[in-house]
Amino acid sequence: MTTHAAALPVLQGESGLAHYLREIRSYPMLEANEEFILAKSWKEHGDLDAAHKLVTSHLRLVAKIAMGYRGYGLPLSDLIAEGNVGMMQAVKRFDPDRGFRLATYAMWWIRAAIQEYILHSWSLVKIGTTAAQKRLFFNLRRLKRDMRAIDDGDLSPEQVTHIADTLAVTEAEVVSMNGRMLGGDQSLNAPMRADGESGGEWQDWLADDSESQEHKLGAAQETAHRQRLLAQAMLGLDPREREIIMARRLKDPADTLEDLSQHFGVSRERIRQIEARAFEKLQDNIKKEAVKEGLLIEA
């Protein structure tokens, strides 16, 4: 068993991003068998060199995930650093005998670490305290992008209504959150240097064709796992809650509040309340299943 491991590459603020992204590209991706052997060596013998290889081979994955959160007004270098902490936690708890790749498992930990950092940095005073407000915080940009409204300042009344209905929040909360989060995305095609003369684009340092198959497999495995967790969690809802959740969250296009109010013979507001309560129950059930399977830390 080894007694030490090489240090991880150091990310020295935004000015050092180009060097860091270039450095992590030098770490090779692991084949499935090699990853399994290293994970077993770390788990059973505490081999720090094996753990180091597992972490460094996934640093590009961390950077890619962190890029997805660059619109929250925080330094990308900080997001990557927090994601790396999540990656190390994933390696620490990874069980290779479960049969899935480390990338699939690590995605949960990386995202959780980055989201916790964002929530802490923005503070509850800025983003609100309810589960619905936090859900709005992390989904608003995606919904705006889906509606091609990401570059607009103010949302149209129709867009506000759509987002409020989709996320089970009030229209006032949507307007307020949108105002706080305006600032625009940083394009992956943007030059890494302000003068645009050298260094290439950000995506140049993140793109690697050799990773595509692993990422496709990881994404497929994660999707299948999430579907299984969702199906299990749905069993904890009563029939009406389950039908409303399926109609509002899982159907494309989703049923409107008016459609469901007529179907169940209750008001639109009552449907909204049932949906909100059912969604919170669903989230709690999914979290419990994830904790039970070691995919999430219990708060």
Which residue reads 């260094």 in tokens? 199
Q: List CB contacts of 105: < 8 A, sequence separation 6 or more.
A: 90, 94, 98, 295
Average pLDDT over residues 139-166: 73
Q: Is 205 inside any structural domain?
A: no
How many structural domains are present in the chain? 3
Residue type, 160: V
Answer with the one of 96, 124, 152 that is the final residue of a domain: 124
Q: pLDDT tens digits, residue range 185-196?
A: 444 445 544 444
Q: Which long-range contacts (CB under 8 A, 24 or more apart) does 251-259 make?
A: 254/165, 254/166, 256/165, 257/165
Do 26 and 92 belong together in one domain? yes
Q: Is 212 inside any structural domain?
A: no
Q: What is the CATH number of the domain that holds 21?
A: 1.20.120.1810
Average pLDDT over residues 92-120: 85
Question: In degrees rounded to 5, what are phi and psi of residue 201?
Answer: -100, 160
**Cα 41 to Cα 28: distance, rounded to the nearest angstrom:** 18
Q: Is 279 inside any structural domain?
A: yes
* pLDDT value of residue 167: 80
Answer with the one of 104, 124, 144 that is the final residue of a domain: 124
Strongest mean pLDDT among 223-227, 240-244, 294-298: 240-244
Q: Is 204 inside any structural domain?
A: no
Residue type, 279: F
Do 120 and 145 belong together in one domain? no
Percentage of the chain beyond pLDDT 90 is: 22
Which of 107-116, 150-159, 195-204 bottoms out in mean pLDDT, i.e. has the lowest? 195-204
**Cα 172 to Cα 189: distance, rounded to the nearest angstrom:** 34
Q: Where in the sequence is the domain holding 76, given as residue range(s)?
A: 8-124
**Cα 146 to Cα 262: distance, rounded to the nearest angstrom:** 28
* pLDDT value of residue 84: 92
Q: Is 198 inside any structural domain?
A: no
Which of 45-49, 91-95, 130-134, 280-284 bottoms out in mean pLDDT, i.e. has the lowest? 130-134
